[in-house]
Each structure stands twice: as structure tokens, then as C-alpha cells.
A and B are shown apart, each in its own frame.
Chain A
Amino acid sequence: MINKISASVAEALASVKDGATVLIGGFGTAGIPGELIDGLIEQGAKDLTVVNNNAGNADQGLAALLKTGRVRKIICSFPRQVDSWVFDELYRSGRLELELVPQGNLAERIRAAGAGIGAFFCPTAFGTELAKGKETREIDGRQYVLEYPIHGDVALIKAEAGDRWGNLVYRKSARNFGPVMATAARHTVATVFEIKELGELDPEAIVTPGIHVSKIVKIPRVATQAGGFRKAA
């Protein structure tokens, strides 16, 4: 019998190893898997590469993970925020490596990993600093930059509801990076507020089919809070 429901965050994250690449979902306030990030801090894996759109806010969540000193490198599109002081300090003191990636390239490189694509030519960033040193090609009169996939060892995502096969649905713009990250990691863990019986989730509306999910953990429903994002990024 397939049962991807985990009794606890600790159990779901037990297999995370030192040196892992960890894809973490979320954009702004929406879709951040806070319980799983806290669980990863607790779990203690180190020498991590983290992939997220941002680089943490204030002192909680991803910022708290960075603060442990167990993250070697971050791959993101927008690290600088009004309250990204943990990242700022680590980056400025040379203790955290940054790979800055345009947001659409970040999403597509993760998608490519999940889709078995070896690399792809993308027009974004051609002729800019962020394409320096990368292979380029003119195709049909337009210039493209060669981009490689971003594979994860682990993906941590936040969904709304799931079932024991690992099928997931999301809520509003909290979907963001979740579905692509789920496909791109060897071990995908999702938190859900509700666990449904098989067949209860409308098959026409399932966003992430269970094949992409390793573990789901039910967490108490807490409305997503504001905070940390008042100033425009």
C-alpha cells in the first residue's frame, strides 16, 4: 500500500544529508513552508545549497536557516529586501555564496530538471551581466543564452490539501514555485492543512500528481501572515 503521509516533520526530513541541494517554495508571504524550514534547522543537515526566490526575511524561516551557518550557497532572484539583514551580513562577509538568477530562468531551470531536459536556450538576460561567460546562440534571428537545469535533492513545499498518494492542491498565489519544485527533487516533502481520502480531490483540479511527492505532513491551519514584505521588492 502506498502511504506518503508522515507522522511528523522530523520523520519526513530524516533522510536529508549534508551537502544537499534544497529547493524551498514560496514567494513573498505566500507558500513558504515555514514548518519544514524549522524542521530542517532542527534536523541539522549542513553544507546545504538552498534554492528559493528570495533569501530570507527578518530572523525567522529561511533567514533563521541561513543564520545557523549551514547554508553554503543560495540560488535566488531577489535576495535584497528591507529585512534581509541575515543574508546581507553573511553575503558581505563572504560566508555565503550567491548565484543570482532571473526569476523566470529560476522557474524554468527547475522545471527543466523535473522534465529531464539537459539544457535550454533562453532569451532572458542576453547581453547582460547575468549571462556573462555563458554559451549563446542565434536561432531564427534572435539571441539566446544556454541555461542548465537546477536539480534538488530535497524540495520543501507548502500545499493546501493532499491525499495518501501524494496528490496536491494549492491555495491562490501560494502555488508559485511549489509544483515545479516538486518535480525537480529526488525527495519532495509537502505540508498540507488537510488530508483527503483518495478520490476526494477532484482529479481535474489536482495540480501536483502524487508521483512527484515523497512525503506529506499535516500541519495546523494558520492563516498566512503579513510581515516582512511591506516595502516593494
Chain B
Amino acid sequence: MMNAPKYQKRTKDELARRVAQDIHDGAYVNLGIGMPTAVANHIPAGREVILQSENGILGMGPAPAAGQEDYDLINAGKQPVTLLPGGAYFHHADSFAMMRGGHLDICVLGAFQVSARGDLANWSTGEAGAIPAVGGAMDLAIGAKQTWVMMDLLSKAGDSKVVESCTYPLTGIACVKRIYTDLCTLECTPQGLRLIDAVEGLSREELERLIQLPVATAN
């Protein structure tokens, strides 16, 4: 029988806070649908961060109060949002040009799998008979100056979602710079994974056992 782990996973809020901590003052950021959306709630006080939504918003604000929803003002997840003073609207081609042209500093995405060298799989499980849908995933993956992934390290079945090479259909090649998970923060490099941090009590050796790949130390 396995010993109980000596470490605790980051909660969803803790993970969102961990990502937010690395977003610099003045950054232009796109937060993907799902888990990354929560990062907006944890930007440290004193930092001004401008959020982009790929359906044509820069300077996106939080959700409106109940009853104040305007369904002409929604985010990419199709939820009502608000616009901050100073915000701007633009059309879809301009929005994706802004992204593809490398003008956004950071894009945070969810993922099914990420390879040690930064290949991303987050749009399709490749399941037979499933209806394919990609949305902006492939544009987002390769567009920003830095693409970060935010996900649980292990799947529900206990398999590492950080892999040597993705088995799910790819979204982009060598596009992920960092992986923020409930157990650790990793950097993807051409040489493989590098450890940025891990939750207290989780050793690098134990992490390598979970991922089944070498993880280089910070230097």
C-alpha cells in the first residue's frame, strides 16, 4: 500500500493565484475559457493588467451585477462581461491579428496534454464519432508572446497530463512556455522540463515519478 502523500494539492483558487502572481504589471493577457478565467480574480493589488477577449474586446472587466447583463457584451465563453474605462472594441480579424501578431504578452489556456517540449493538445480527444470543434484554440496557442497552460497535473485516472509526446490531436507545436498545475509549475524547453516550483513536501524525485519524465532543477 502506498504511503499517504506528504503534500497537499493547490486548490483551484490557489492555482489561479499562483498563475496571477507571474503576470506582470502592464501585461496584455488573454485568459482561455474554463479554469484560466478565474485568474482574473487573483491579480495582485497594484498591478494593472489588460484583458483581451478574442471576440473583440480589450480592457474587459468583471461579470456585471445580476440584472445588469448586456448580451451584446460577452466574452469568448459567451458569458456577459463589462468593459473597463479605457477599454475598446474591434472586429474579429483585428482581434486575431492582435493575437497572431504577437502583441499579447500572455495567453493562459487549459489543456488535455502538454509535452515536455511544449506541444499542446487541448481541442479534441480524437474520440471516434465526436463532433470536432476548435474555436480559437489553435490561434491562441501560437499567438501570444508566451503561452501558459493551467491544469491539474494528473488526469482523473491518475495519468500525467504532462507527457513525452501528446497522444491527443495537437493544437500547436512547441508553443507552451510554462505549465501551472495543482502540484507544480514547470517550464517547457527544447531540452525538456525544468522545475520552477512544487507544492511543499513534493520532492523533485517524487514529481519525476508522477510525470515519468526527467525534470531538471531550476538551474
- Give the B-binding residues of A (Cβ under 8 A): 27-31, 77-80, 84, 87-88, 91-92, 98, 100-108, 110-111, 122-130, 143, 170-180, 207, 223-226, 229, 232-233
Partner of B71, one of A78, A123, A225: A225
- Give the A-binding residues of B (Cβ under 8 A): 33-34, 53-57, 69-74, 76-80, 83, 89-93, 95-97, 99-100, 124, 129, 131-139, 142-143, 169-173
Could you say which residues of chain B place their CB within 8 Å of the CB of A125?
Answer: 138, 172
Report if A174-B72 is in contact (Cβ < 8 Å); known contacts: A105-B139, A232-B33. yes
Smallest beta-carbon distance B60→chain A, Å: 9
Could you say which residues of chain A place their CB within 8 Å of the CB of B138?
Answer: 102, 104-105, 124-125, 128, 130
- Tell me the complex Cα distance, A90–B100, Å: 33
Report if A127-B172 is in contact (Cβ < 8 Å); known contacts: A79-B133, A175-B56. yes
- Tell me the complex Cα distance, A27–B134, Å: 14
Smallest beta-carbon distance B93→chain A, Å: 4
B72 and A103 contact, CB distance less than 8 A: no
Could you say which residues of chain B place their CB within 8 Å of the CB of A126?
Answer: 142, 172-173
Partner of A224, one of B71, B131, B142: B71
Report if A80-B133 is in contact (Cβ < 8 Å); known contacts: A172-B73, A173-B53. yes
Tell me the interface secondary structure of chain B in the complex: loop
Can you add 7 more A-B contacts, CB < 8 Å, to A102-B138, A233-B133? Answer: A100-B132, A103-B54, A104-B138, A173-B89, A178-B91, A179-B91, A224-B72
Smallest beta-carbon distance A41→chain B, Å: 23
Could you say which residues of chain B place their CB within 8 Å of the CB of A106?
Answer: 92
B133 and A107 contact, CB distance less than 8 A: no
Smallest beta-carbon distance B198→chain A, Å: 30
A77 and B100 contact, CB distance less than 8 A: no
A29 and B96 contact, CB distance less than 8 A: no
- Tell me the complex Cα distance, A87–B100, Å: 30
Partner of B79, one of A103, A107, A232: A232
Partner of B170, one of A79, A102, A127: A127
Report if A78-B134 is in contact (Cβ < 8 Å); known contacts: A27-B92, A232-B78. yes
Smallest beta-carbon distance B97→chain A, Å: 7
Partner of B91, one of A78, A88, A207, A232: A207
B91 and A30 contact, CB distance less than 8 A: no
Q: Which 3 A-B pairs have the closest CB atoms?
A: A104-B96, A104-B139, A28-B78
- Tell me the complex Cα distance, A129–B123, Å: 11
Q: Which of A106, A143, A170 has the most CB of B within 10 A?
A: A106
Specify the chain A residue showing the minimal Cβ separation from B99: A104
Specify the chain A residue showing the minimal Cβ separation from B137: A102
- Tell me the complex Cα distance, A223–B170, Å: 40
Could you say which residues of chain A place their CB within 8 Å of the CB of B134?
Answer: 77-78, 100-103, 130
